[in-house]
């Protein structure tokens, strides 16, 4: 287990370094960053001054090392737009996004696991087909459109929940549904497949044969084993969700990190963009790392290799 952990940790670090290099490189993809900061009407003297001030004249590798060193100590540079530390701006907004992500994944799990179990208990039944139908349809609904439709129905027509903002818990209801439903089909299908496989296993037949209560068999014996891959999928989905929160947050004007990303893009605030790409990637890497560890811990067969 220790060897597995170390190997997996090494991989996570390598991936993190590569991603950091890419998000750093983003700054230079569109040309001279000094020109971008100075604006369209800047003189060459201004540009030279900015180049010197920000250190853009140093070799790229040195700049990257400098940025990476800063990132490791929690210093991600200064925002071009606010002239404030990027770390402060990002951490201020991250809470909303993480809350939204946690709510959305909980919503998806609460919806998907019972549906998956019900579908697996009676394959090809009405419930199974309904669940399959929902998952096929659900995957085809664009989330930004779904969000707008929910706003029309629940905020405008029915007046049940606020349409935008992040002031109270009520503001999180619709975004949670929009962000969460997208992960539901995949989790449901995996739960169903896992349950189907486990339910045909010998030990379930034994449990049935010795007259164990069906509910006990389902939830204590079968679900426990079928849930293992679901947990790791949920972790991966959570990583995707944080990255996908940008669309949902901008529809509902939820002031989280995703909304910040959208604002930073329109403000041409590259340091904040860089930091956000880095932060979202790190979340994903962390979640998948933890999920793999959890899996290996629960299922020793996975520790090899």
Identity of the residue, 188 or 222, whose beta carbon is nearer to other proteins in the bound complex: 188
Which residues are paired to 78 by β-bridges? Answer: 85
- Of 34, 281, 291, 292, the one binding other proteins (CB under 8 A) is 281
Cβ 276 vs Cβ 264: under 8 Å: yes
- Smallest distance from other proteins to CB 190, Å: 15
Residues 6 or more apart whose CB falls under 8 angstroms from that of 261 comprise: 246, 272, 273, 276
Stretch that binds other proteins, among 17-25, 78-86, 109-117, 200-208 (CB under 8 A): 17-25
Stretch that binds other proteins, among 15-23, 54-62, 99-107, 225-233 (CB under 8 A): 15-23
Identity of the residue, 37 or 273, whose beta carbon is nearer to other proteins in the bound complex: 273
- Of 115, 119, 261, 291, the one binding other proteins (CB under 8 A) is 261
- Smallest distance from other proteins to CB 51, Å: 19
18 binds other proteins (CB under 8 A): yes
Residues 6 or more apart whose CB falls under 8 angstroms from that of 179 comprise: 100, 101, 104, 143, 241, 244, 245, 248
Cβ 301 vs Cβ 257: under 8 Å: no
- Of 143, 161, 204, 298, the one binding other proteins (CB under 8 A) is 143
| Burial letters 34-51, b for 16+ CB under 10 A, else e | bbbbbeeebeeeebeebb
Residues 6 or more apart whose CB falls under 8 angstroms from that of 268 comprise: 36, 80, 81
Stretch that binds other proteins, among 37-45, 82-90, 110-118, 261-269 (CB under 8 A): 261-269
End-to-end CA distance of the chain: 11
- Of 148, 161, 196, 293, the one binding other proteins (CB under 8 A) is 148
Element (H, E) at 103: helix 86-121
Query: Number of residues in contact with other proteins, rule: CB under 8 A?
Result: 46
Binding positions for other proteins, 211-250, rule CB under 8 A: 239-240, 242-244, 246-247, 250
Identity of the residue, 207 or 279, whose beta carbon is nearer to other proteins in the bound complex: 279
156 binds other proteins (CB under 8 A): yes
131 binds other proteins (CB under 8 A): no
Distance separating alpha carbons of residues 48 and 70, to the nearest angstrom: 24
> How is residue 184 written in tokens?
């539901």
144 binds other proteins (CB under 8 A): yes
Residues 6 or more apart whose CB falls under 8 angstroms from that of 259 comprise: 93, 246, 249, 250, 253
Identity of the residue, 112 or 251, whose beta carbon is nearer to other proteins in the bound complex: 251
Cβ 282 vs Cβ 16: under 8 Å: yes
Identity of the residue, 34 or 246, whose beta carbon is nearer to other proteins in the bound complex: 246
Residues 6 or more apart whose CB falls under 8 angstroms from that of 92 comprise: none
Binding positions for other proteins, 95-124, rule CB under 8 A: none
68 binds other proteins (CB under 8 A): no
Distance separating alpha carbons of residues 283 and 32, to the nearest angstrom: 30
Which residues contact other proteins (rule: CB under 8 A)? 11, 14-16, 18-19, 22-23, 26, 29-30, 136-137, 139-145, 148-149, 151-152, 156, 239-240, 242-244, 246-247, 250, 261-262, 265-266, 268, 273, 276-277, 280-281, 284-285, 288
């Amino acid at each position: 287990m220790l060897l597995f952990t170390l190997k997996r940790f090494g991989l996570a670090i390598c991936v993190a370094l590569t991603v950091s290099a890419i998000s750093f490189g983003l700054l230079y993809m569109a040309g001279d960053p000094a020109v971008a900061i100075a604006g369209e009407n800047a003189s060459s003297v201004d540009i030279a001054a900015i180049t010197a001030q920000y250190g853009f004249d140093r070799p790229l590798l040195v700049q990257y090392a400098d940025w990476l060193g800063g990132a490791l100590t929690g210093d991600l540079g200064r925002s071009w737009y606010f002239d404030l530390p990027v770390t402060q701006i990002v951490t201020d907004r991250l809470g909303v996004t993480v809350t939204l992500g946690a709510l959305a994944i909980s919503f998806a799990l609460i919806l998907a696991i019972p549906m998956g179990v019900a579908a697996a208990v009676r394959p090809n039944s009405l419930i199974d087909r309904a669940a399959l139908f929902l998952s096929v349809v659900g995957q085809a609904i664009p989330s930004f459109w779904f969000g707008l439709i929910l706003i029309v129905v629940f905020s405008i027509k029915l007046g049940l929940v606020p349409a935008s903002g992040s002031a109270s818990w009520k503001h999180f209801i619709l975004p949670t549904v929009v962000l969460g439903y997208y992960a539901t089909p995949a989790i449901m299908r995996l739960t169903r497949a896992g349950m189907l496989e486990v339910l045909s296993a010998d030990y379930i037949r034994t449990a049935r044969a010795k007259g164990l209560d069906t509910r006990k068999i389902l939830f204590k014996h079968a679900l426990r084993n079928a849930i293992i891959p679901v947990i790791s999928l949920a972790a991966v989905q959570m990583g995707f969700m944080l990255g996908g929160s940008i669309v949902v947050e901008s529809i509902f004007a939820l002031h989280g990190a995703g909304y910040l990303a959208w604002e930073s893009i329109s403000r041409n605030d590259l340091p904040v963009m860089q930091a956000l790409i880095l932060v979202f990637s790190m979340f994903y890497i962390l979640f998948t790392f933890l999920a793999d560890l959890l899996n290996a811990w629960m299922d020793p067969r996975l520790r090899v290799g």
